[in-house]
Structure 1
Amino acid sequence: MKGKSLQDLQQLKAKLAHDRERAAAEAAARQAAEKKAAAERDLFKRAAGPVAPLRHPVRVRLAGDPPPPIPVQHQLDEQRVLLESISDDFDATTLLDVDDAMSFRRPGVGLDVTRKLRKGHWSIQRELDLHGLRREDAREALAEFIRETHRQGIRCVRVVHGKGLGSPGKTPVLKGKVQGWLVQKKEVLAFVQARGDEGGAGALVVLLKPLGG
């Protein structure tokens, strides 16, 4: 019995020593893991060096809405229109041909063009009626009409200005103005007084230059 007790005591001591070694190993492993984690946490601090906290919290100022884009092309178009504006004071009477009916042809354009125009050689593709418009409004409307129809490649148009029967003294003021305005438009090759069935003395048939011509 005494020998068995001694053997049990030795086994117990061995077990206690083993437990102590295992506990020490686990403690060492935990300590190493904690050191590694701490080192990883402090990596940025060590890389950045000593820093001082900001006195004020960081604030980001958001930029306002950007200004609208400048309509450069529109401005250029307006400038071009101003350069091409037509004058009220232009006297076209010296440039008009007075044959069997009034007509105009730009220098270099033959008489056959106005003859063909009067006979309906070119079909009328668009019409502008200036009845009831004030002089300023009529001038702007005519300039825009000629510019746009030429841009669309249209060759022949009719401009109705009226016979002036409703004007003071029944003088066709707008008729003379329209003739002067058309002479100033570079897109216009020629124009003739319309035939009776097309408006007669109250309208003009206008031939425009070919697009790109």
Structure 2
Amino acid sequence: TWYSFYSNIIISDLRNRKQGFRIKFKMNKNQIKMYDKGNNLRIEITINNPAEFKVLKNDDETGSRRWKPMGKSIANLYRYSEVSESITKRFIEALPTVDSDIVTLKEIKEVSKPKEVNGRRYSGFNLLNESDLKLFKEISDGSYLISGFNNKLLRKKLYEDSRNQKNISKMTRTLAKLRKHGIIKKAARKNNYYLTAKGRRITTSLQLYTGKEILA
């Protein structure tokens, strides 16, 4: 199967081989795959288009260090390792971690309450509200695992008029609230966000909420 994301094509492929199942996700020649071989579960990253990622290098003109597109060079092997590790961790965190029969409400209740950070109060999320549930469902979409999401992208998904200044400001406040509640984290040197491990547990729990036994 495939779908478009940020004007890129993401391909997912599932196959049942003699050794076991293998699932692969590919975008712009870069891919992550997971497969079982014998009794071992393996996750591998293949980077064929390193320019999709950044590496910190000296600028020839100014002499200062800047983030530039990564090239195919032995000197960048350390960065290949950092990028691969980061992607693998997000992939593992995205795997289902909630018992399908018993869903705990502890963390869900926490994000429903107001939280104060550095003297500033952030309201909780109303998980009986349709718009909040729609927000949590959207940010848990697997298409954000690689590049994350931002204000503009979420507005296009959640609001009819994504260019309205009121909606822009509203989404800015929403992202800040998600961060302070520990549901999302900001990517370094970018305006993109990813779900935290806590955020992944909460969004997964909400999707399993209906018809399950709930423990306080």
Task: Quickly name the TM-score band, shorter chain normalised.
Answer: under 0.3
Higher helix share: 1
Larger Cα-atom Rg: 1
Higher strand share: 2
Give the TM-score of the pair, scaled to structure 2. Answer: 0.25
Q: Higher RCO, 1 or 2 (CA under 8 Å, sep at least 6)? A: 1
